[in-house]
Chains A and B, each alone.
Chain A
Amino acid sequence: MNIPENLLYLDSHEWVEKTGEKTARIGLTDFAQDQLGDLVFVNLPEEGDSVAVGESFADVESVKAVSDIYSPVTGTVAAINADLLDAPEAINQDPYGAWLIEVTDITEYGELMDAVAYQAFCEEQN
């Protein structure tokens, strides 16, 4: 299982990449995509929407399930990865390349794990 060291992780299996002082990219981890199976659609928020720690900002659909995606940060959606709307399989193929949203004006971070802690957390879950 792939867990890049430069990212931070939420216990609901989202990753966060800090891209600046108050900006970050958010995506789903390899563990998450593996558990969810083949994804067939992603419902993303709109640019300008606000997101908050612990609240759902998107959901992903597999054939027989839908799963909420929770925000690790509080801030404003600066961009969405619209490519995913036509090709949700990118999350299965390249979970750390297929970011979901970029957030700006971040005012708060949730309780995040580093790669080592997240690795341990996933092993426990398995």
Chain B
Amino acid sequence: MKLIFEKSVPGRACTLLPDCDVPMAAIPETFVRKAPPHLPELSETDISRHYTELAKCVHGVNDGFYPLGSCTMKYNPALNEEMAGLAGFTGVHPLQPEHTVQGSLEVLAKAEEILCKVTGMDTMTFQPAAGAHGELTGLLLIKAYHRARGDAQRTKIIVPDSAHGTNPASASMTGFTVVNIPSGADGCVDLEKLRAAVGPDTAGLMLTNPNTLGLFDKNILEITRIVHEAGGLNYYDGANLNAVMGVARPGDMGFDVVHLNLHKTFSTPHGGGGPGSGAVGAKSLLAPFLPNRHVKCQGDFYAFEDAPQTIGSVKAFYGNFLVVVRALCYMLVLGEDGMRDASQMAVLNANYLKKLLEPHCEVANEGICMHEFVLTLEKLKKETGVSAMDVAKSMLDYGMHPPTMYFPLIVHEALMLEPTETESKETLDWAAGVIAEILEKAHTEPEALHNAPVTTPVGRPDEVAAARNPKLRAVFDA
């Protein structure tokens, strides 16, 4: 495919702007750049066709099954897009007077109210733009809380080794020392190791439950109690909330602060990597430290308010507002009964697919899983030389997006599948058939799998060359 710059023709342009209707003022030469930026010169037809060509080389949720574990690739309802596109939302300036943006403030307040009830939290900020950003915010709240109590020695955050990579990275960014504790083979917290790890220097624990192996940690109440008794706080990584929305609340599990991925659990689209929204909910003990510009309802008037001991801002303005609009639509459509049903069906779909696959390969953990599960292809690799990567790449030739590969790190040759509740039984039956066929092929035609995919626009890229000799931008002849 040609780059957009390679389609450029000097002198070509779209006609977009009128001529200047006031006297033209010239920017003094001393401020002016030497040459204009080298941007493409195109007609609207060129642009339209370029991106249509690119779109044909992308697999989105609407193109087919997308069981990317930990990413919750559920269907993104059309209503959400329509509502987020309303001029009443897209056209308002973030610094308009409050009385002229009551509708936007109501969206934030309403979404907060519902999400607090879903998570069992007392308050919420929408400022964080993504899950990792929410982690940063939540940890800053924990830090501020201990500091405000004069408890400066609490410098350590405990993270199980099965955690998402963002957890330890967020803890480092917020000045904490990370204490990694090994998980059991099921990814669950080892209570003895946790008891040994906590102490007067414990600031908190970061945990995702269900864990990254797709299991709900049965000992959750004991885990959060151990941390609380040591004086630490419990942080809930909400990446996996889709299994338990309406079924169990982080607040009831003993968590003090949680981030939600509205772009996972609450059906807003990922846009090829963002924008998301990493809303952070907190129990009232952390409310005094919330990021500034939090919406409060005063009678029937909504207004912004800064928390008395705010940690400050993690972003300009109020967060990814249009993402919150989409999530609110979704929550209003589902309601309490619908949310619970969505989670239950996410779990049923995962268990159903797991059951269909069990005769064909090894699952990292037996028994009932939550919304996702992990296959381990270690044995297959030993027997046939076919790796989890080969199996994943073969799925591309069947029009299926592969599962998450090589995560969690504690499982070898891992493939993590999360079908989500918006997939039908027919799709799951089909997917199981495809995977079974590929696993069969691993024994009969391993070479074919090493060479997959063959039907995609390009084959496996040379990632080593890309990293050794980074070409990060197009280069133009002078």
Contact = CB atoms under 8 A, between A and B. Distances in A.
Interface of A: 38, 40-41, 61, 63-64, 88-89
A38 B468 CA distance: 9
Nearest to B467: A40
B406 A40 contact: no
B19 interface: no
Lowest 4 CB-CB distances: which A-B pairs, in order?
A: A40-B467, A38-B464, A63-B463, A40-B468
Contacts of A63: 463-464, 467
A89 B468 contact: yes
Contacts, number: 14
Interface of B: 406, 463-464, 467-468
Contacts of B464: 38, 40, 63
B468 A88 contact: yes
A77 B406 CA distance: 36
Nearest to B409: A65
Nearest to B389: A64
A63 B464 CA distance: 6
Given A40-B464, A63-B463, A63-B464, 7 more contacts: A38-B468, A40-B467, A61-B467, A63-B467, A64-B406, A88-B468, A89-B468
A37 to B, nearest CB: 8
Contacts of B468: 38, 40-41, 88-89
A76 B118 CA distance: 56
Contacts of A38: 464, 468
B297 to A, nearest CB: 48
Among the interface residues A41, A61, A63, A88, which one has the most CB atoms of the partner chain B within 10 A?
A63
10 contacts: A38-B464, A40-B464, A40-B468, A41-B468, A61-B467, A63-B464, A63-B467, A64-B406, A88-B468, A89-B468
Contacts of A89: 468
Nearest to B468: A40
A41 B77 CA distance: 43
